[in-house]
């Protein structure tokens, strides 16, 4: 049986989610920040983490976005194959949600229409939409606005199979080192391993939407996440890049089968304002 | 060490600042980011005057979110400074004395900072709600069509920053990470 979903419903949800996520971080991110503020060894680092805690309170209380870069809206839609959308196209409905959310929420319009001519579209559209079809009759919407201070520090490496797991580790560590203070640490590191050039990039971005502190279900991938997090926090970059023991809150890895000749690795870096929110309709 | 300074800056205040100092700025500063820097560069190339007087002033690399009614400004944290590196030495040579941003600078910028006895501060990236509370007033004074990227005159009070590159060229990003590096 097909279930009809009016696209206006998508628009309303996306509008609300764009606003909510820019004013209030998910509980997992807030918990990670609070824990770090206790454990950070550098006094200046602790001072900065306390500023970030206070920043979250002010954002929620006074309705000021957590960060002025309210991001380019990235939207993941997992659409049940028994859903039939009516009332318009999904893409238009999603962008209308972004448009309304960024206008009504006093969010910054950071999108230029043509990457070379660079004229601001003034409504933060279009978003970047990733759709997949899944079993069932539900639609899972994830909104994850991405700031570009950290996006600009993200990297793709096309490794050789012989580079192996050690090669993967050095890619992640070098991307984090290069990012240094620019990516607004403490960061969350999304990693995609395998697939193709574009597949690993999408996995790395999607990995950022995973709850902070939850690990991969694949035992050796979980081990790799833990090892990399420990190593990253030994780099010394620290909060704000001003030195310390908290450089990252989490390393989230997604994997996919790949070709006999390749080992693609994407490292998507996100600042401590790692905004992600999910709803199912 | 915690210090308080007043903007526009004077040579004496700048000389006292050391990489690693926690500083509260009060006074007048100007916001400008990518597009405004590009326009200023084009104006200079054509021999036209700049819309702001750079002398002894501080530029804050900022593109705020829109202000709600009754507020001077929206969220107002720093953007990545390195995107302005291409334009910065020239502005320093013309009298600019301070910059507030986040992230690393090029060797050319660092040299221009030392040559002109200037200073580079970092504000905490991603603390835009908190930082907006330290901005008392905001007025667009040039390039209004650039929206968030317009040049604004900002009145700030106890605006918290950290000295990253001081007038002698000491660089906190280079030394601080080393101290906690265990790998
Ligand atoms: S990297 Fe993140 S925290 Fe930093 S300015 Fe951009 S969105 Fe804000």
Ligand 1 atom nearest residue A184's Cα: 4
Over 90: is that where the pLDDT of A280 sits?
A: yes
Class of domain B2-182 (CATH, top level): alpha beta
Over 90: is that where the pLDDT of A279 sits?
A: yes
Closest residue of chain A to B66, computed from CA coordinates: A106
pLDDT band at A29 (very low <50, low <70, confident <90, very high): very high
- Pick from A145, A176, A270, A273 the residue to mutate for probing ligand 1's pocket: most ligand atoms within 8 Å of its CB: A273
Average pLDDT along chain A: 97
Looking at residues A2-20, what average pLDDT do you find?
97
Q: For chain A, what percent of residues have pLDDT higher than 70?
A: 100
Residues of A in contact with B74 (CB under 8 A): 64-65, 68, 106, 108
The C-alpha atoms of residue A146 and residue A78 are separated, in whole angstroms, by 19
The ranges assigned to domains in chain B are: 2-182
CATH 3.30.360 region(s) of chain A? Answer: 3-21+67-145
**DSSP line for A64-91:** --SSS---B-EEEEEEETTEEEESS-HH
Burial profile B69-101: b = 16 or more Cβ within 10 angstroms, e = fewer: eebbbbbbbbbbbbbbbebbbebbeeebbbbbb
Ligand 1 atom nearest residue B125's Cα: 4
DSSP B117: T
Note the pLDDT tens digit of each residue in A32-73.
999 999 999 999 999 999 999 999 999 999 999 999 999 999
Closest residue of chain B to A103, computed from CA coordinates: B66
Residue with tokens 């990003």: B173
The pLDDT value recorded for residue A244 is: 97
Tokens representing A168 are 């993967």
Note the pLDDT tens digit of each residue in A70-83.
999 999 999 999 99
Please give the model's pTM, rounded to 2 decimal places: 0.95
Over 90: is that where the pLDDT of B97 sits?
A: yes
pLDDT band at A105 (very low <50, low <70, confident <90, very high): very high
* In chain A, alpha helices (H): 7-23, 27-39, 43-62, 90-104, 148-151, 164-179, 197-207, 219-232
The CA A4 to ligand 1 mean position distance, Å, reads 38
Residues 116-145 of B with CB under 8 A from A: 122, 124-130, 132-133
CATH fold of A148-274, please?
A: 60s Ribosomal Protein L30; Chain: A; (3.30.1330)
**SS3 label, residue A190:** strand
Looking at residues A109-127, what average pLDDT do you find?
95
Note the pLDDT tens digit of each residue in B145-158.
999 999 999 999 99
The pLDDT value recorded for residue A152 is: 96
Subunit contact A238:B126, Cβ cutoff 8 A: no
Note the pLDDT tens digit of each residue in A203-251.
999 999 999 999 999 999 999 999 999 999 999 999 999 999 999 999 9
The dihedral over CA atoms of A13, A19, A22, A28, expressed in degrees to the nearest 10, equals -40
CATH 3.30.1330 region(s) of chain A? Answer: 148-274
pLDDT band at B183 (very low <50, low <70, confident <90, very high): confident
ipTM given for this complex? 0.93
The C-alpha atoms of residue A14 and residue A75 are separated, in whole angstroms, by 9
Over 80: is that where the pLDDT of B1 sits?
A: no
Ligand 1 atom nearest residue B126's Cα: 3
Tokens representing A108 are 């910054």
Read off φ and ψ for residue A184, nearest 5 degrees.
55, 65
Residues 109-128 of A with CB under 8 A from B: 109-110, 118, 120, 122
SS3 content of chain B, % helix, strand, coil (to 5): 30, 30, 40
The CA A133 to ligand 1 mean position distance, Å, reads 31
Residues 47-86 of B with CB under 8 A from A: 62-68, 71, 74-77, 79-80, 82
- Pick from A148, A184, A186, A276 the residue to mutate for probing ligand 1's pocket: most ligand atoms within 8 Å of its CB: A184
How many Cβ atoms are within 10 Å of A1's Cβ, its own excluded?
5
The pLDDT value recorded for residue A1 is: 83
Tokens representing A197 are 């050039």
Residues 224-253 of A with CB under 8 A from B: 231, 234-238, 240-245
Which CATH code is given to the segment(s) A3-21+67-145?
Answer: 3.30.360
Task: Give yes or no for A107 touching B (CB within 8 A).
Answer: yes
Tokens representing A215 are 């690990």
Tokens representing A5 are 């979903």
Residues of B in contact with A234 (CB under 8 A): 181-183
The pLDDT value recorded for residue B82 is: 96
């Amino acid at each position: 049986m097909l279930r009809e979903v009016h696209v206006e419903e998508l628009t309303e949800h996306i509008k609300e989610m764009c606003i909510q996520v820019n004013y209030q971080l998910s509980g997992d991110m807030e918990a990670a920040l609070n824990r770090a503020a206790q454990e950070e060894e550098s006094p200046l680092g602790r001072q900065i983490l306390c500023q970030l805690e206070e920043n979250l309170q002010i954002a929620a209380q006074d309705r000021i976005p957590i960060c002025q870069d309210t991001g380019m809206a990235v939207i993941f839609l997992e659409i049940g194959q028994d859903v039939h959308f009516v009332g318009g196209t999904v893409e238009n409905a999603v962008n209308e949600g972004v448009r309304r959310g960024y206008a009504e929420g006093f969010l910054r319009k950071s999108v230029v229409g043509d990457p070379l001519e660079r004229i601001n579209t003034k409504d933060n559209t279009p978003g970047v939409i990733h759709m997949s079809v899944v079993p069932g009759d539900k639609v899972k919407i994830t909104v994850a606005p991405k700031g570009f201070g950290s996006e600009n520090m993200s990297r793709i490496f096309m490794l050789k199979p012989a580079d192996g797991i050690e090669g993967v580790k050095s890619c992640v560590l070098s991307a984090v080192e290069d990012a240094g203070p620019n990516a607004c640490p403490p960061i969350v590191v999304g990693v995609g391993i395998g697939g193709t050039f574009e597949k690993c990039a999408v996995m790395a971005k999607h990995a950022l939407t995973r709850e902070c502190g939850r690990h991969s279900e694949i035992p050796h991938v979980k081990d790799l996440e833990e090892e990399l997090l420990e190593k990253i926090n030994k780099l010394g970059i620290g909060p704000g890049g001003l030195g310390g023991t908290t450089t990252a809150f989490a390393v989230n890895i997604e994997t996919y089968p790949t070709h006999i000749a390749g080992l693609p690795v994407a490292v998507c870096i996100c600042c401590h304002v790692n905004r992600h929110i999910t709803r199912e309709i | 060490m915690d210090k308080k300074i007043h903007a526009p800056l004077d040579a004496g205040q700048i000389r006292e600042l050391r990489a690693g100092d926690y500083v509260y700025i009060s006074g007048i500063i100007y916001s400008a980011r990518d597009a405004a820097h590009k326009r200023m560069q084009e104006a200079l190339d054509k021999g036209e005057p700049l819309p702001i007087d750079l002398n002894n002033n501080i530029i804050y690399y900022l593109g705020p979110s829109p202000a709600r009614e009754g507020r001077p400004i929206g969220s107002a944290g720093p953007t990545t400074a390195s995107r302005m590196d291409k334009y910065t030495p020239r502005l320093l040579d013309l009298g600019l004395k301070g910059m507030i941003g986040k992230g690393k600078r090029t060797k050319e910028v660092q040299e221009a900072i030392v040559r002109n006895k200037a200073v580079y501060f970092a504000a905490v990236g991603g603390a835009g709600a908190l930082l907006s509370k330290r901005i008392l007033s905001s007025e667009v004074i040039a390039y209004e069509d650039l929206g968030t990227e317009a040049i604004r005159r900002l009145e700030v009070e106890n605006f918290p920053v950290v000295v990253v590159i001081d007038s002698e060229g000491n660089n906190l990003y280079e030394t601080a990470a080393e101290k906690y590096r265990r790998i």
